[in-house]
């Protein structure tokens, strides 16, 4: 790659800040340049990005709440977009990007596979993206990698596949505070039941990963079963962000299975809780040959999500315009790393 990719960071919450930090670090390779930063928070707007990120040297990038202006004036190629999990909340933001001719790599979980949950929005977004010659893609560690890209990749060396099981066990105690709250760490089982009843609790993106795997294999599912249960603490656990006493909720156990004719074909099983023992990612393929893949210790989510977003930046420049998924991307790879900066 010889041309420098111009990137705007769209959204400066914890994930967006971390992405901006990584993009600034990667500038040293000469392969990428951060050219704008957008956030609607009036407390952030107007500041140099360095102030928000606690960097010593000013970046020259002023955080702006005027997305349209930044997208138009920065001459950006790609926006790394990290504002919300839900498609209805980001649709207007994506349209702004398209109209400015800016590709979007987004952490919006529902964007990873929006065609079933939001068919009309998906069609509209696809049309706009094509019209303006840009790509929209949703990715991250999960959805985006652990339970879809890695699963499909594992099937790539199988002549036949009859059943897929992916498990991910995350020690939420090692993750950032918002994630611990997201999984209900420290609440009572009763409070968990109430949250669950709202229908917006649990991991967002599990169904999206399931649908990505099914479509990637040309498999038709005729039934999907989803369960969401609390993981209860069997001991008192304290983390920098939460305290969980025995019997309280430590996190979630969220699982989904896709069936055809009552045969379970794909199961994704996710446990995210503080104090998890043996965190790991596993993909088990029953097939020819069978595959038993384990990422020991697990893929550390906070960093991996940022990596998945940033590493997708050069890949979407090679992807056909439209609303795309990880299935349409070239094989993943780290982007703009500089091993020699660290090898002394």
| Contact (Cβ atoms closer than 8 angstroms) between residue 8 and residue 35 | yes
Q: Does residue 155 belong to the site contacting its own copies (CB under 8 A)? A: yes
Q: Smallest gap, in angstroms, from Cβ of residue 197 to its own copies?
A: 34
Say how many CA atoms lie within 13 Å of 255 toward its Cβ.
Answer: 15
Identify the residue among 162, 200, 234, 245 touching its own copies (CB under 8 A): 162
The reply on whether position 55 binds its own copies by CB under 8 A is: no
DSSP code per residue over 175-238:
S-HHHHHHTTTT--HHHHHHHHHTT--S-TTHHHHHHHHHHHTTPPPSEEEEEEEEEEPSS-EE
Region near its own copies per CB under 8 A, out of 45-53, 195-203, 231-239, 258-266: 258-266
Least distance in angstroms from the C-beta of 261 to its own copies: 6
d(CA 310, CA 296): 23
Contacting residue, 10, 113, 136, 145, with its own copies by CB under 8 A? 145
The answer to the question of residue 289 lying near its own copies (CB under 8 A) is yes
| Between 92 and 218, CB nearer to its own copies | 218
291 binds its own copies (CB under 8 A): yes
Instruction: Using the CB atoms, write b or e for 286-300: b if 16+ within 10 Å.
Output: ebeeebeeeeeebbb
Assigned token pair, 18: 């971390």
Half-sphere exposure of 133 (CA within 13 A, CB side): 4
Q: Tell the smallest beta-carbon distance from residue 111 to its own copies (Å).
A: 17
Q: How far is the CB of 26 from its own copies (least distance, A)?
A: 8
User: Is residue 150 involved in binding its own copies (CB under 8 A)?
Assistant: yes
Task: Specify the DSSP class assigned to residue 116.
Answer: T
| Site size toward its own copies, by CB under 8 A | 65
Stretch that binds its own copies, among 6-14, 36-44, 144-152, 196-204 (CB under 8 A): 144-152
Q: How far is CA 332 from the centre of its chain?
A: 14
Min dist. Cβ of residue 284 to its own copies (A): 10
Contact 52, 44 (CB under 8 A): yes
Choosing from 217, 224, 232, 317, the residue that interacts with its own copies (CB under 8 A) is 217
- H/E stretch holding 305 reads helix 301-316
Q: Contact at 8 Å (CB) between 55 and 28? A: no
In angstroms, what is the minimal distance from the CB of 291 to its own copies? 6
Among the candidate windows 51-59, 89-97, 181-189, 210-218, which touches its own copies by CB under 8 A? 210-218
When asked if residue 293 is in the footprint of its own copies (CB under 8 A), the reply is yes
145, 257, 279, 320, 333 from 328: Cα distances, Å? 13, 24, 30, 8, 15
The least CB distance from residue 307 to its own copies, in Å, is: 4
- Positions touching its own copies (CB under 8 A) are 1, 22, 25, 29, 31, 141, 145, 149-150, 152-153, 155-163, 216-219, 260-261, 263, 265, 287-297, 299-300, 303-304, 306-308, 310-311, 326-340, 342-343
């Amino acid at each position: 790659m010889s041309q420098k990719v111009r990137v705007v960071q769209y959204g400066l919450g914890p994930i967006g800040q971390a992405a901006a930090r990584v993009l600034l670090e990667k500038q040293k390779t000469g392969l990428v340049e951060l050219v704008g930063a957008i956030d609607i928070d009036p407390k952030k707007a107007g500041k140099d990005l360095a102030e928000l990120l606690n960097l010593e040297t000013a970046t020259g990038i002023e955080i702006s709440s005027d997305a349209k202006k930044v997208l138009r004036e920065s001459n950006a190629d790609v926006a790394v977009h990290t504002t919300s999990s839900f498609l209805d909340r980001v649709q207007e933001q994506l349209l702004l990007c398209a109209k400015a001719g800016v590709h979007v790599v987004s952490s919006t979980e529902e964007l990873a596979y929006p065609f079933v949950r939001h068919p009309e929005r998906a069609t509209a977004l696809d049309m706009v993206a094509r019209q303006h010659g840009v790509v929209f893609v949703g990715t991250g560690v999960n959805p985006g990698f652990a339970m879809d890209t890695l699963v499909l990749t594992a099937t790539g060396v199988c002549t036949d596949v009859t059943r897929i099981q992916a498990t991910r066990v995350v020690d939420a105690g090692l993750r950032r505070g918002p994630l611990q709250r997201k999984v209900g760490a420290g609440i009572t089982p009763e409070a968990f039941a109430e949250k669950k009843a709202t229908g917006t609790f649990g991991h967002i993106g599990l169904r999206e990963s399931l649908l990505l795997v099914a479509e990637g294999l040309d498999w038709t599912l005729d039934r999907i079963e989803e369960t969401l249960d609390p993981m209860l603490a069997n001991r008192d656990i304290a983390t920098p962000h939460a305290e969980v006493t025995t019997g309280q909720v430590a996190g979630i156990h969220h699982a989904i299975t896709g069936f055809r004719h009552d045969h379970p074909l794909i199961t994704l099983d996710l446990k995210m809780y503080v104090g998890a023992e043996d965190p790991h990612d596993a993909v088990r393929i029953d097939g020819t040959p069978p595959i038993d893949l384990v990422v020991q210790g697990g893929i550390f989510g906070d960093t991996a999500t940022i990596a998945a977003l940033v590493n997708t930046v050069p890949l979407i420049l090679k992807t056909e315009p439209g609303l795309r998924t990880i299935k349409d991307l070239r094989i993943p790879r780290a982007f703009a790393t500089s091993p020699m900066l660290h090898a002394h």
